[in-house]
Structure 1
Amino acid sequence: MKTLISVLVWGLISMNTFAAEISRDEAQIRSNLYGFSALADHNAYEYLGRILAPTVKVDYTSLFGGETEHVARAELMKRWAAFLPGFDLTFHQLNAINVQVDDDSASASADFIARHWIGDDSFWSVAGTYLFTFKRSDGQWLITSIALTNPTEAGSRDVLGIAPERAAELLSKRLSNRLDYQ
């Protein structure tokens, strides 16, 4: 019994210590980062777009080549909606998040692994580090840039060609399952 009480007290102290170590700004930034991955995985682009600045600098050059782009958030959401729903399942996992806040600007890094499945056998994943920047706008922290760095891959990129062919149909099916709660 004494051990159980010690564990409970230590757990409460640890929770309170962690809660005190994170600022409100960092909490919102971390929430947006978790939302970034979860909303993409659930094809909720109308909500994902809300945590992005009106124009976002996007840099996936370390993975796909090409050039860094400045993209309007609506256009970026259209691009992702024409691609990500084509997978049967995606899971974007963020770890080791580090946030730095400086007035109305912030930066964050996160180790990630993004897994993509079509069927049971077609799979591709990429792991690396995401670098984000943020600006505070009307009390909200919006993502202003996204860069993917140090990528490593597993599986086959073949699924990247298949997903866009299926995206519109699968997105339409998923959207038909939206709940109208009003």
Structure 2
Amino acid sequence: MTHDITNAVQRFFEAVDTQNWAAANSLMTNPFHLDYSSFGAGPAADLASADILSGWRSVLPGFDSTHHQLGPLIIETDGNSATGRTYVTADHQIAGVEAGEVWTVYGSYVLTLTKIGPDWRLSGNTFQFKFQTGNTDLPALAQSRAAS
């Protein structure tokens, strides 16, 4: 069982990094609980998965690459519900930017999952921000690039 949960989590973040939005959506419940409040993104909310992915599509394609490195994943299950806790280092890169090409965010995720039929899907993500390094202007530049 924990193997299936680990695979769902890894597939989700791989889908985000490769911008495979259909795959990411297939691994999410609807609604999806999103909480990036520790990173200044406003209060936690239950949102439509399509709305979350639309927001990510407005900025992530503006980076030349992103990479979410997770681990270790600590899983607790309770029937058809699970919680996974993991550290995350998220690199965001734009080549050729004079002030620095990489913006890296460090923290941890508390991920909730629900078993629907035979499959596990992510039902929530709470990000616990620790610190960031690199060029903090890159998100705005990426959003501008994604819009053009």
**Into which bin does the TM-score normalised by the smaller protein fall?**
over 0.9
Q: Find out whether 1:164 has 2:143 as its counterpart.
A: yes
The one of 131, 148, 158 equivalent to 2:127 is: 148
Aligned to 1:95: 71
Confirm or deny: 8 A CA contact 2:95 2:101 kept in the other structure.
Answer: yes
Confirm or deny: 8 A CA contact 2:12 2:23 kept in the other structure.
Answer: no
- Cα separation, 2, equivalents of 1:84 and 1:154: 18
- Cα separation, 1, equivalents of 2:66 and 2:19: 10
- Cα separation, 1, equivalents of 2:46 and 2:136: 25
Which amino acid in the other structure matches residue 43 of structure 1?
A: Q
Cα deviation code 1:89-140 (max 9, x no counterpart): 1111001110111101100011110000111433211011100011111221
Confirm or deny: 8 A CA contact 1:92 1:112 kept in the other structure.
Answer: yes
Provide runs of 4+ in structure 1 moved above 4 Å. none
Q: Secondary structure at the match of 1:157?
A: coil
Aligned to 1:133: 112
Q: Secondary structure at the match of 2:143?
A: helix
Aligned to 2:62: 86
* Higher share of residues assigned strand: 2
**Structure 1 residue 150, shift from structure 2 partner:** 3.7
Confirm or deny: 8 A CA contact 1:91 1:115 kept in the other structure.
Answer: yes
Q: What pairs up with 1:55-74 in 2 under 5 angstroms?
A: 55-74=31-50
- Cα separation, 1, equivalents of 2:140 and 2:92: 12
Cα deviation code 1:22-63 (max 9, x no counterpart): xxx211110111112211110001101101001111011111
Aligned to 1:46: 22
- Cα separation, 2, equivalents of 1:168 and 1:143: 28
Q: Secondary structure at the match of 2:38?
A: helix
What's the C-alpha RMSD, in Å, of the aligned pairs?
A: 1.3
Aligned to 1:179: none
Q: Where in structure 1 are there 5+ consecutive unaligned residues?
A: 1-24, 170-182
Q: Find out whether 1:112 has 2:91 as its counterpart.
A: no
Q: How many residues align?
A: 145
Which amino acid in the other structure matches residue 50 of structure 1?
A: S
Moved more, 82-91 or 150-159: 150-159
**Structure 1 residue 168, shift from structure 2 partner:** 4.9
Confirm or deny: 8 A CA contact 1:57 1:69 kept in the other structure.
Answer: yes
- Cα separation, 2, equivalents of 1:43 and 1:166: 15
Q: Find out whether 1:124 has 2:103 as its counterpart.
A: yes
Which amino acid in the other structure matches residue 102 of structure 2?
A: F
- Cα separation, 1, equivalents of 2:42 and 2:29: 22
- Cα separation, 2, equivalents of 1:41 and 1:48: 10
Identity of aligned residues (%): 26
